[in-house]
Amino acid sequence: MATVTYDHASRLYPGTERPAVDQLNLHIEDGEFLVLVGPSGCGKSTSLRMLAGLEDVNGGSIYIGDRDVTDVQPKDRDIAMVFQNYALYPHMSVADNMGFALKIAGKPKAEIRQRVEEAAKILDLTEYLDRKPKALSGGQRQRVAMGRAIVRQPQVFLMDEPLSNLDAKLRVQTRTQIASLQRRLGVTTVYVTHDQTEALTMGDRIAVLKDGLLQQVGTPRDMYDTPANVFVAGFIGSPAMNLGTFTVTGGVAEIGPARLPLERDVASRITEADNGRVTVGFRPESLDIVTQADESAFPVEVNLVEELGSDAFVYGTLKGDLAAQAEVHSGAGDDQVIVRVDPRSVPAKGERIYVTIRPGHSHVFSSASGERIS
Amino acid sequence: MTVHNLQITASAPDPALLDLPWDIPLVDWPEETLAALPRGISRHIVRFVRLSGRVIAIKEIGESVAYREYELLRQLRRLEVPSVVPVGVITGRKAPDGEPLEAVLVTEHLQFSLPYRALYSQALRPDTAARLIDALAVLLVRLHLVGFYWGDVSLSNTLFRRDAETFAAYLVDAETGDLHRQLSPGQRAYDVDLARTNIIGELMDLAAGELLDEDVDEVSIGDALVARYEELWETLTESESFESNERWRVAARIERLNELGFDVGELAITTDIDGTSVQIQPKVVDAGHHSRRLLRLTGLDVQENQARRLLNDLDSFRAATDRQNDDEEFVAHDWLRGVFEATIRAVPRDLRRKLEPAQLFHEILDHRWFVSERAGRDVPMAEATRSYVDDVLRHRPDEKSVLGLAPGEKDPELDA
Ligand SMILES: Nc1ncnc2c1ncn2[C@@H]1O[C@H](COP(=O)(O)OP(=O)(O)O)[C@@H](O)[C@H]1O
Ligand SMILES: Nc1ncnc2c1ncn2[C@@H]1O[C@H](COP(=O)(O)OP(=O)(O)O)[C@@H](O)[C@H]1O
Ligand SMILES: [Mg+2]
Ligand SMILES: [Mg+2]
């Protein structure tokens, strides 16, 4: 087992202007489950392929443990790409299906059997080892494929959107299985997905990429509680965080008729470039419905209510004097605010509700750079 | 049938597609709809269906992956790499109870294609394995030359067609592939290594099912692929240096590539400053040197080695009729009418469909050589054809669509 280190690693595709991965610095601990996440085209797969040896590294280096693998052939890196190939061989037993790569590598029979048995135990396949694959269910077949990677005892597992081909139900199931399996095996794993929910539920830590640049690395909690910039704030969480740019007067951000006092040190971090404005983020679940009388209340006109059983969300428009100047957007689009409300008392469409941001639950970013200042 | 939500993406949709039972999961399609043709091993459900006089292959697969594979297959076709022809993607399937069903990718069944499982178990000549590997190595090199990273090279993901005495390989599964401007050495190495592992695994599987000749050594066949691939890649791409007074080596290099069946589209020639040494490196090579030449001369569109054979026969026709000074196109036209087509027409229609015409012609040429030697005289084509039809073709299996599985092999998936 081993750590993985990207040290200023860059990939510039021939014929393109900008690096697809730009000076990536990332250290992954031994046994850690790290998820690379970001929108399509941000450089996740390229980063993973650089580690796999499938993509040339044009600058910087990549290490597995202390070993510089930047120029090492893929098959000599001691990594396993999982799920790439799991057509099972119908005439071979489940044990042989799992162990055939070891046989090719010339490992002694006894050792193969031992490694296969260990993997089967972890995968709950022990009683099937001497059967043929046709006796297995779909999920078990998939575990045999996992077993193929496990018996090779690689230093690192790599997975690139391994669930993209599954239907929604199986995806959620397999997600949990992979995560718990990885924890039991303790093999360092790098996992690529564009789906932030998948990232939040699976990763020990998450690395968010955008345009080839690493935005933030941290635990799911870190990403949720203290997003480093506006991009991460809007990307992590579902429904997405509401983000608005507001005028600051005397240390107070004005949101519609409401006044949101900024902490002193936040106010002091506003620069000239910000032009007297800050970007304030607040999650749909960080809003409380209050009355108009509340000092910090701002009005939202209800456009639509989405009821999801245990949750309900209001999609609305920010109202009030200063609302027109504020640039607001959310997961629902520009000028929209999303508010989580009690599913047992949902407001009607067209109604005006008053909401306030729960104290300590606002995120303040520089309006110029997008960096977190609170 | 609930068809109202069905969406078909295809460049030329066949309305008959709509009549298929899309509201039933593919595993449960009624036998009478299906064409029982052999398949390689796969993780998705794949079935063949007769439709408007042809056979299509239907694969149930996630929607986004289906569109991706469809697009990749279209691009490969544009790049003229031998691969199955995509027909379309169908989404929005629903069972009568409203339960959504998986999207499907539809491709044209590759006529006369032989999945490797059929080839091995028909007990062909013992060197079959080597010839399949040769064909797969050529395909892999061609894919890599156009920047295609396969990601899952295997015998199951390849289809084979007879090509004179060898085989031509076609890509069938592009699911894990990616097109790049140019592949890195790492990408090529990964593909080749995976090919080796998969081939050995597939052969071990045949061995486990007692479908493989005991003399076949699985690992050495896998190793042979690696060696063959590397040799071919070198010849096609390596740069070569020589003294400037050895210019003939430029022509020799081009000829060597032609021999291998490749045309040189672009050759980089650099000389050093004082002009004493020259370096050449092929930049663009296109496969199909002989098949292009035959196509230009006769309009016949056949595979590389079949074309080689036909061109040889055309050459001997030209010599025999003493027409070396005639325009090549005219001679080719006369050969096509008088020799090639006449020979094919002499084969009874019901037997003619067993093999592709070019393959049929190739086998008749072989047979003619064989009977001539036995008879100690030059047996004319017409006589050789009659003898071939009666003594050989009648006893051959129909390969237009090889029916059923190999003797002794149960379809491991169908009865699962
Ligand atoms: N082989 C390639 N050649 C040129 N550009 C590429 C290639 N592969 C990816 N790119 C570009 O690099 C960027 C990152 O791609 P990728 O790593 O696939 O992103 P992601 O996995 O996050 O969707 C994108 O802009 C993509 O278009
Ligand atoms: N167009 C086709 N023509 C002939 N055979 C096909 C075609 N499409 C699929 N097959 C057969 O079906 C098998 C499985 O198809 P494939 O695309 O490899 O599925 P999977 O993605 O599940 O591996 C192949 O090995 C091949 O034998
Ligand atoms: Mg990707
Ligand atoms: Mg396949």
Q: A80-90, pLDDT tens digit by residue?
A: 988 655 789 99
Domain co-membership, A287 together with A225? no
The pLDDT value recorded for residue B162 is 86
Residue B79 placed within a domain:
yes
Kindly tell me if the per-residue pLDDT of A312 is higher than 80.
Answer: yes
Domain co-membership, B233 together with B123? yes
Domain co-membership, A38 together with A83? yes
The pLDDT value recorded for residue B414 is 42
Query: B4 CA to middle of ligand 2, Å?
Result: 28
Q: In A, what residues contact B, Cβ < 8 A?
A: 13-15, 52-56, 73-75, 84-93, 96, 100-101, 103-104, 132, 134, 141, 164-167
Domain co-membership, A67 together with A94? yes
Kindly tell me if the per-residue pLDDT of A150 is higher than 50.
Answer: yes
| Shortest-distance atom of ligand 2 to CA B84 | 1
Specify the number of domains making up chain A.
2
Kindly tell me if the per-residue pLDDT of A142 is higher than 90.
Answer: no
Burial of A207 (0-12, 13-18, 19+ CB in 10 A): buried
Domain co-membership, B11 together with B68? yes
Domain co-membership, A225 together with A270? no
Question: Residue A209: nearest ligand to its CA?
Answer: 1
pLDDT digit string (tens) for A229-255? 999 999 999 899 999 888 888 888 887
CB atoms < 10 A from the CB of A135, how many? 10
| Shortest-distance atom of ligand 1 to CA B179 | 1
Contact of B408 with chain A, judged by CB distance below 8 Å, is answered with: no
Domain co-membership, A107 together with A183? yes
Domain enclosing residue A14, as ranges? 4-231
Determine the residue of chain B that is closest to A93 in CA distance: B208
Is the Cα torsion angle B52, B54, B60, B65 positive or negative in sign?
A: negative
Domain co-membership, B96 together with B176? no
Domain co-membership, A43 together with A158? yes
Residues recorded for chain A: 374
Domain co-membership, B315 together with B230? no
Q: How far is A207 from chain B (nearest CA, A)?
A: 24
Contact yes or no for B189 and A89 at CB 8 A: no
Contact yes or no for B198 and A55 at CB 8 A: no
Contact of B208 with chain A, judged by CB distance below 8 Å, is answered with: yes
Give the span between the Cα atoms of B225 and B204, in whole angstroms: 16
Sort out which chain B residues have CB atoms less than 8 A from A85's CB and list them.
Answer: 152, 154, 176, 194, 198
Kindly tell me if the per-residue pLDDT of A54 is higher than 90.
Answer: yes
Residue A117 placed within a domain:
yes
Residue A58 placed within a domain:
yes
| Shortest-distance atom of ligand 2 to CA B56 | 1
Domain co-membership, A186 together with A253? no
Give the span between the Cα atoms of B241 and A320, in whole angstroms: 78
Contact of B183 with chain A, judged by CB distance below 8 Å, is answered with: no
Domain co-membership, B150 together with B166? yes
Domain boundary among the residues A231, A263, A287 is at A231
Contact of B202 with chain A, judged by CB distance below 8 Å, is answered with: yes
Domain co-membership, B18 together with B119? no
The pLDDT value recorded for residue B207 is 87
- Closest residue CA from atom 1 of ligand 1: B180
Domain boundary among the residues A215, A231, A247 is at A231
Query: A45 CA to middle of ligand 3, Å?
Result: 4
Quick one: which of B292, B293, B264, B291 has its CA closest to B280?
Answer: B264
CB atoms < 10 A from the CB of A7, how many? 17
Domain co-membership, A215 together with A308? no
Strands A33-37 and A188-193: parallel
Residue partners of B233: CB distance under 8 A and separation at least 6: B141, B144, B188
| Shortest-distance atom of ligand 2 to CA B175 | 21
Domain co-membership, B135 together with B247? no
Question: Which residues in B293-312 are b (16+ Cβ under 10 Å) and which e?
Answer: bbeebbebebbbbbbbbbbe
Contact yes or no for A164 and B181 at CB 8 A: no
Domain co-membership, A43 together with A166? yes
Question: Residue B83: nearest ligand to its CA?
Answer: 2
Domain co-membership, A61 together with A112? yes
Quick one: which of B289, B297, B230 has its CA closest to B254?
Answer: B289
Quick one: which of A22, A29, A20, A27 has its CA closest to A8?
Answer: A22
The pLDDT value recorded for residue B1 is 47
Residue partners of B32: CB distance under 8 A and separation at least 6: none
Mean pLDDT for the stretch of residues A110-116: 97
CATH number at A124 reads 3.40.50.300
Which residue in B149, B182, B202 is closest to A14 by CB distance?
B182
Domain co-membership, B248 together with B134? no
Strands B54-60 and A21-28: unpaired
Residue among B173, B190, B200, B225 with most chain A CBs within 10 A, to mutate: B190
Residue B340 placed within a domain:
yes
Which amino acid is residue A350, in one-letter code? G
Choose the residue to mutate in B46, B48, B87 for probing ligand 2, maximizing ligand atoms within 8 Å of C-beta. Answer: B46
Residue A372 placed within a domain:
no
Instruction: Return the axis-axis angle of helices A109-123 and A94-104, rounded to nearest 10°.
Output: 130
Contact yes or no for B413 and A88 at CB 8 A: no
Determine the residue of chain B that is closest to A99 in CA distance: B201
| Share above pLDDT 90 across residues of chain A, in percent, rounded to a whole number | 68
| Shortest-distance atom of ligand 1 to CA A11 | 12
Residue A371 placed within a domain:
no
Question: Residue A20: nearest ligand to its CA?
Answer: 1
- Closest residue CA from atom 21 of ligand 1: A45
pTM (predicted TM-score): 0.82
Sort out which chain A residues have CB atoms less than 8 A from B151's CB and list them.
Answer: 84
Determine the residue of chain A that is closest to B181 in CA distance: A14
**Residue B208 or residue A321, greater confidence:** B208
Domain co-membership, A105 together with A172? yes
Domain enclosing residue B357, as ranges? 291-395
Residue in the block written with tokens 């690379």: A36
Residue A163 placed within a domain:
yes
Contact yes or no for A101 and B151 at CB 8 A: no
Determine the residue of chain B that is closest to A168 in CA distance: B62
CATH number at A288 reads 2.40.50.140
Is the Cα torsion angle B94, B99, B103, B107 positive or negative in sign?
A: negative
Specify the number of domains making up chain B.
4
ipTM given for this complex: 0.80
- Name the band, by pLDDT with cuts 50, 70 and 90, for residue A53: very high
The pLDDT value recorded for residue B124 is 40
Contact yes or no for A90 and B222 at CB 8 A: no
Domain co-membership, B73 together with B167? no
Per-residue pLDDT of chain B (416 residues; tens, 9 = 90+): 444 588 999 988 889 999 999 999 999 999 999 988 888 888 899 999 999 888 999 999 988 889 999 999 999 999 989 999 999 999 999 999 999 999 999 999 998 887 777 776 554 444 677 788 989 999 999 999 999 999 999 999 999 988 888 889 999 999 999 999 889 999 999 999 999 999 999 999 988 888 787 788 889 999 999 999 999 999 889 888 888 888 788 888 888 888 888 888 888 888 888 878 888 888 777 788 888 888 888 888 888 889 989 999 998 898 888 888 888 888 999 999 999 999 999 999 889 888 889 999 999 999 999 999 999 998 999 999 999 999 999 988 777 655 434 434 444 444 33
Quick one: which of B180, B181, B154 has its CA closest to B169?
Answer: B154
Q: How far is A343 from chain B (nearest CA, A)?
A: 28
Residue among B45, B149, B184, B221 with most chain A CBs within 10 A, to mutate: B184
Domain co-membership, A193 together with A114? yes
Q: Which residues have any ligand 2 atom within 6 Å of their CB?
A: A 87; B 39-40, 42-44, 46, 57, 59, 84, 107-110, 113, 115, 156-157, 159, 172-173, 175
Own/partner long-range contacts of A127-130 (Cβ < 8 Å, ≥24 apart): A128/A94, A129/A93, A129/A94, A129/A95, A130/A93, A130/A94, A130/A95
Helix-, strand-, coil-residue percentages of chain A, each rounded to 5: 30, 35, 40
- Which stretch of DSSP H or E encloses residue B230? helix B218-237
